[in-house]
Structure 1
Amino acid sequence: MSVPYLGFGMGLRTCYFEQIISERPAIDWFEIISENYFVSGGKPWYYLSQIKEQYPIVMHGVSMSIGSTDDINTDYLKQLKRTIARVNPAWVSDHLCFSALGDFNSHDLLPMPYTEEALNHLTQRISQVQDYLERPMIFENVSSYLTYKQSHMTEWEFLAQLHKQTGCQFLLDINNVYVSARNHSFSAMDYLNAIPKESIAQIHLAGHQDFDSHIIDTHDEPVCDAVWSLFSEFSQQVSAVSTMIERDDNFPPLAELLAELEHAKALTRTHWG
């Protein structure tokens, strides 16, 4: 699987709809939250139908729960497949995690245990989902606040093995790597250095809340200097990867996000062009 290089993008959020349509800012592409477009009409579709005429669109889901031990939710996949057909995205992604078990839904993205059993489980699930959707999926690393006693490999070893077994590619969220590294006291660069470079299809850059003893991935702050530094160093190891700024709350004027996007471009200009 290979995905096109789209350049530097941004998460499409409702508060910027009208400004994007009227001003057509210098953004290469937008990422939408898949589930927001499972409805047949309404405000999101009214604006998206106009925006997707001017910009490439990718889809990013939050509810697949690919790691769950429950049967895959076929109703969810039907809605996703219908939305994919309507949007015609450059690619589709979700999170490498689980969020539901039986009747319990955490409404959060819970990390997988890093075991051979989990690897084999994900390999089967990814194949099942991709066969149903009739297209490959990209999966994002999540931030984490706990670890499992059963885990016998690191997260980066787990991802490398998953890529080897399935060929799937990853949406590398560098902020999530930083958050998990701080919370679990490992080296973020050790993680990034170990990820198979050919497996990276997209990059997320985002902000978080730092409470000294731990960090919470909130997407409501600017990208911090430490994450910029990680991105700058990692970008020198890979060919150009579609990269975006992700903001989900405490929305600033669009100009501030555009400035972050320009900073990302500046950090990669000498080696990505």
Structure 2
Amino acid sequence: MLDKTPLGNLPPAPGVGYKPQHFSDVMQDPAPVRWLEIHAENYMGDGGRPLAQLRALSERFPISVHGVGLSIGGDGPLDQDHLARLAHLVDWLNPASFSEHLAWSTHDGAFLNDLLPLPYTDATLARVAAHIDEVQDRLGRRMLLENPSSYLAFAESTWSETEFLAELVRRTGCGLLLDVNNVFVSATNLGFAPRDYVDAFPLDSVGEIHVGGHDEDADDHGAPLLIDSHGRAVADPVWTLLEHTLARSGPRPVLVEWDNDVPAWPVLCDEAQRAARALAVLPR
């Protein structure tokens, strides 16, 4: 197993998900944003404006590459063409961090435009660990794995989610990306206490923390149902959960995700400033 001790080179400061419409604003007045995240699949082409802008951004900011298409939890083998394109991007960009989701999105050669859940069983654990090892060996770096937002639980699961993630860290040496909004969404939908989840999480392995917006709905029985939409400001209870998480983990890079109905740059900066305030009160 590769020596993958570093969790990444992102500063313990606010970052945001980069959107091309914000390029000029980011370059001219980024405060308080200290780092940026991109989705890998948007930058796997051979050139053009997206890569030119990314090169310019990478000269000024640490970049986190977040994958959404590897299907780490899929039944079949990893898509080697996709992995090769990802490796090419990572080789030239040399990002400060790379992450993917604990989810699957492919079946029988078809790609499903969603991040689908997994049963937490020994067989799933072995398959996901093998896929993580393959990715880390191909990229030559440690990856972070993100906890999912859940809308159902599998009766066949024999591991809790936090135990499953901790065991993946032990087996593969990967790090973790703790999405606090995902915790809040899953806790509401599945009926557990979000602080208990955070308290059980292997926080020493966390290289990034994410927050984002969610939509509120109700299930067929009228119970609250939250959807991880990334299309609005972060809800107050999620900020409170972030503060609890940081009090336990210490300073970490904190990303504000806003991928749909993307606001003007000053609105996104206001969210990043709130993350900065949550970090500022921590002992150094």
Give the aligned partner of residue 263 of structure 2. 252
Query: Percent sequence identity over matched residues?
Result: 36
8 Å Cα contact 2:149-2:183 kept in structure 1: yes
Give the aligned partner of residue 236 of structure 1. 247
Which amino acid in the other structure matches residue 185 of structure 1? G
The correspondence for 1:150, drawn from 150, 156, 175, is: 156
Q: Give the number of equivalent residue pairs.
A: 273
**Aligned-pair CA distance for 1:102:** 0.9
- RMSD of aligned residue pairs (Cα, Å): 1.4
Is 1:205 paired with 2:211?
yes
Give the aligned partner of residue 12 of structure 1. 18
**CA pair 109-237 structure 1, distance change in 2 beyond 3 A:** same
**CA pair 152-53 structure 1, distance change in 2 beyond 3 A:** same
Give the aligned partner of residue 91 of structure 1. 97
Is 1:27 paired with 2:61?
no
**CA pair 225-76 structure 1, distance change in 2 beyond 3 A:** same
Look up the SS of the partner of 1:236 in the other structure. helix
8 Å Cα contact 2:32-2:273 kept in structure 1: no
Look up the SS of the partner of 1:251 in the other structure. coil
8 Å Cα contact 1:189-1:230 kept in structure 2: yes
Give the aligned partner of residue 45 of structure 1. 51
**Aligned-pair CA distance for 1:35:** 0.8
Look up the SS of the partner of 2:243 in the other structure. helix
**Aligned-pair CA distance for 1:197:** 1.6
Which amino acid in the other structure matches residue 208 of structure 1? H
Report the TM-score, using the length of structure 2 for normalisation: 0.92
Which amino acid in the other structure matches residue 109 of structure 1? L
Look up the SS of the partner of 2:245 in the other structure. helix
Give the aligned partner of residue 191 of structure 1. 197
The correspondence for 1:124, drawn from 119, 130, 138, is: 130
What CA deviation, in whole Å up to 9, does each residue of 1:158-207 have, x standing for no partner? 11222222221111110011111111111111111001121111011100
Distance, in Å, in 2 between the alignment partners of 1:165 and 1:85 is 25
**CA pair 192-248 structure 1, distance change in 2 beyond 3 A:** same
Distance, in Å, in 1 between the alignment partners of 2:99 and 2:105 is 16
**CA pair 115-136 structure 1, distance change in 2 beyond 3 A:** same
The correspondence for 1:136, drawn from 126, 139, 142, is: 142
What CA deviation, in whole Å up to 9, does each residue of 1:35-72 have, x standing for no partner? 11100112211211221111111100100001111111
**Aligned-pair CA distance for 1:216:** 0.7
Which amino acid in the other structure matches residue 135 of structure 1? R
Distance, in Å, in 2 between the alignment partners of 1:133 and 1:167 is 14
- Structure 1: runs of 5+ lacking an equivalent: none
Query: Moved runs in structure 1, 4+ residues, more than 4 A?
Result: none
**Aligned-pair CA distance for 1:24:** 4.1
Give the aligned partner of residue 225 of structure 1. 236
- Structure 2: runs of 5+ lacking an equivalent: 219-223
Bigger relative contact order, structure 1 or 2 (CA pairs below 8 A, ≥6 apart): 2
Report the TM-score, using the length of structure 1 for normalisation: 0.95
Give the aligned partner of residue 262 of structure 1. 273
Which amino acid in the other structure matches residue 9 of structure 2? P
